[in-house]
Amino acid sequence: MSHLFEPMSLGNVTVKNRLWLGPMSQYSAQATGDHASEPNAWHFQHYASRSVGGYGMVVVESTAVTLEGRATPYCLALDCADKLPDFEQLVDSILMGGATPAIELNHYGRMASTRQGWMHSSYLAPDAPLGWLPVAPSPIPFTEDGAIPRELTDEDIWGVVRAYREAAERAIRAGFEAVVIAASGGNLLHQFLSPLANHRGDDWGGLFSNRIRLVLEVIDAVREVIGEHPLIVRMAATDWDAAGKGWRLTDAVELVRNGKEHGVDLWDITSGGIVPGVVQEAGPGYHVPLSDRIRRDTHAATSVGGKIISAGQAEQALLSGQADAVVAGRNALRDPYLARRWQSELDGVDSWPLQYWRGI
């Protein structure tokens, strides 16, 4: 059997294989009304298809812990218990296909209040319909045309920690079996990590130990309410800042070392997002060397995605000990059944659901 399709123990869960669906925003929730920011028929079919498609874990897209933490007015949020019934239905649709249901909890900070991804996430001004003023560690806009975000006070920051705790507790109540905390893609937690976005002079900024403080506080708060369920941190391993003044791989290694004592089960390695317009000349598997370095230096478990385009490449990342699991992104949008196809390619196993038996 291939490494990719071996089960994996993580916290109190056994994930059936090591090829997972990464979080990908659908920007398809209602922006207003009784069911605003809740999953709907689009999400149910999208995630059910990927679960039937054979991914071991299905990570639901970025779900905001507060409404102001949404990237767009069409993003999901778990900011209150009223939303639980629709999230429970989403969990059921994933379980039905056999995957472990997980959810990414997020806060976009200064990257909030934009249009949908297919509108190039363009900035939505605070006074535009459905727009709002974003918050951030420091009053530094993400893009030049963006509003200057409101700097969070110490009290606000503890409010963010509380919002993560409460959203995580709701996620477990809805039936999710794993929680992903995102400190990546230029979002709020990543903004606190990076000296490029965090210019604070208090004990949430400046020194490395201050900049990682919010991430560690969020990890502790989430762990308190999720018990033995897997806690995964999606982390940018570098800002790719040419001047070397941003968040660097050596910082990422140090954070993972710290995170070990805080009980993180696995680190999902990505990169970039703090500096707009910095386009990484990314070849296939461009995060794999970052994951390799973190795994070697810390002995922490990692998963990795980013242009992993073939079954052989995914298998090689595991076989060579560069990661413990592989995360599929855009490939999985184009092909819900990618995991089944790769399993058949690597192991010669046709594991299609019985309902589809006559189609094989």
Ligand X SMILES: Cc1cc2nc3c(=O)[nH]c(=O)nc-3n(C[C@H](O)[C@H](O)[C@H](O)COP(=O)(O)O)c2cc1C
* Sequence-ordered strand ranges (E) for the chain: 8-10, 13-15, 19-21, 57-64, 76-77, 100-106, 135-136, 150-151, 178-183, 231-236, 266-270, 302-304, 325-328
How many Å apart are CA 118 and CA 333, to the nearest integer? 14
Verify binding: residue 22, ligand X, rule CB under 6 A.
yes
Task: Determine which residue in the list 299, 330, 341, 349 makes contact with ligand X, applying CB under 6 A.
Answer: 330
For the chain, the straight-line distance linking the first and the last C-alpha, in angstroms and rounded, comes to 21
Closer by beta carbon to ligand X, 56 or else 185? 185
Closer by beta carbon to ligand X, 151 or else 345? 345
Task: Determine which residue in the list 13, 24, 152, 269 makes contact with ligand X, applying CB under 6 A.
Answer: 24
Residue linked to tokens 């592989």: 326
Q: Which helix (H) or strand (E) holds 82?
A: none
Task: Determine which residue in the list 159, 175, 329, 353 makes contact with ligand X, applying CB under 6 A.
Answer: 329
Q: Nearest distance from residue 155's CB to ligand X, in Å? A: 27
Q: Phi, psi at residue 103, to the nearest 5°?
A: -140, 140
Q: Nearest distance from residue 207's CB to ligand X, in Å? A: 27
Which residues are registered as beta bridge partners of 232?
A: 180, 266
* Angle, CA 284 vertex, CA 272 and CA 111 arms, to 5°: 20
**Segment 116 to 175, residues that bind ligand X, using CB under 6 A:** 117
How many Å apart are CA 238 and CA 225, to the nearest integer? 30
Closer by beta carbon to ligand X, 308 or else 318? 308
In terms of phi and psi (left: phi > 0; alpha: psi -120 to 50; beta: otherwise), the region of 197 is: alpha
Residue linked to tokens 């039905």: 96
The one segment of 21-29, 30-38, 93-101, 243-251 that binds ligand X by CB under 6 A: 21-29
The one segment of 19-27, 107-115, 138-146, 207-215 that binds ligand X by CB under 6 A: 19-27
Q: Nearest distance from residue 308's CB to ligand X, in Å? A: 6
Contact at 8 Å (CB) between 50 and 306? no
**Segment 221 to 250, residues that bind ligand X, using CB under 6 A:** 234
Query: Which residue minimizes CB distance to ligand X?
Result: 329
H, E, C per residue of 84-107 = HHHHHHHHHHHHCCCCEEEEEEEC
For residue 77 the two structure tokens come to 């949020």
**Segment 183 to 202, residues that bind ligand X, using CB under 6 A:** 184-185
Verify binding: residue 98, ligand X, rule CB under 6 A.
no
Verify binding: residue 265, ligand X, rule CB under 6 A.
no
The one segment of 17-25, 129-137, 248-256, 290-298 that binds ligand X by CB under 6 A: 17-25
Task: Determine which residue in the list 61, 217, 265, 315 makes contact with ligand X, applying CB under 6 A.
Answer: 61
Closest Cα to residue 66, out of 78, 74, 81, 75? 78
Query: How many chain residues interact with ligand X (CB under 6 A)?
Result: 21
Q: Nearest distance from residue 26's CB to ligand X, in Å? A: 8
Task: Determine which residue in the list 2, 17, 25, 100 makes contact with ligand X, applying CB under 6 A.
Answer: 25
Verify binding: residue 93, ligand X, rule CB under 6 A.
no
The one segment of 36-44, 296-304, 312-320, 326-334 that binds ligand X by CB under 6 A: 326-334
Contact at 8 Å (CB) between 193 and 213? no
Task: Determine which residue in the list 37, 62, 138, 291 makes contact with ligand X, applying CB under 6 A.
Answer: 62
- Which residue type is seen at 47? Y
Closer by beta carbon to ligand X, 116 or else 344? 116
In Å, what is the CA distance from 179 to each residue of 30, 58, 285? 24, 11, 24
Task: Determine which residue in the list 305, 311, 314, 318 makes contact with ligand X, applying CB under 6 A.
Answer: 305
What residue ranges bind ligand X (CB under 6 A)?
22-25, 61-62, 104, 117, 182, 184-185, 234, 270, 305-308, 328-331
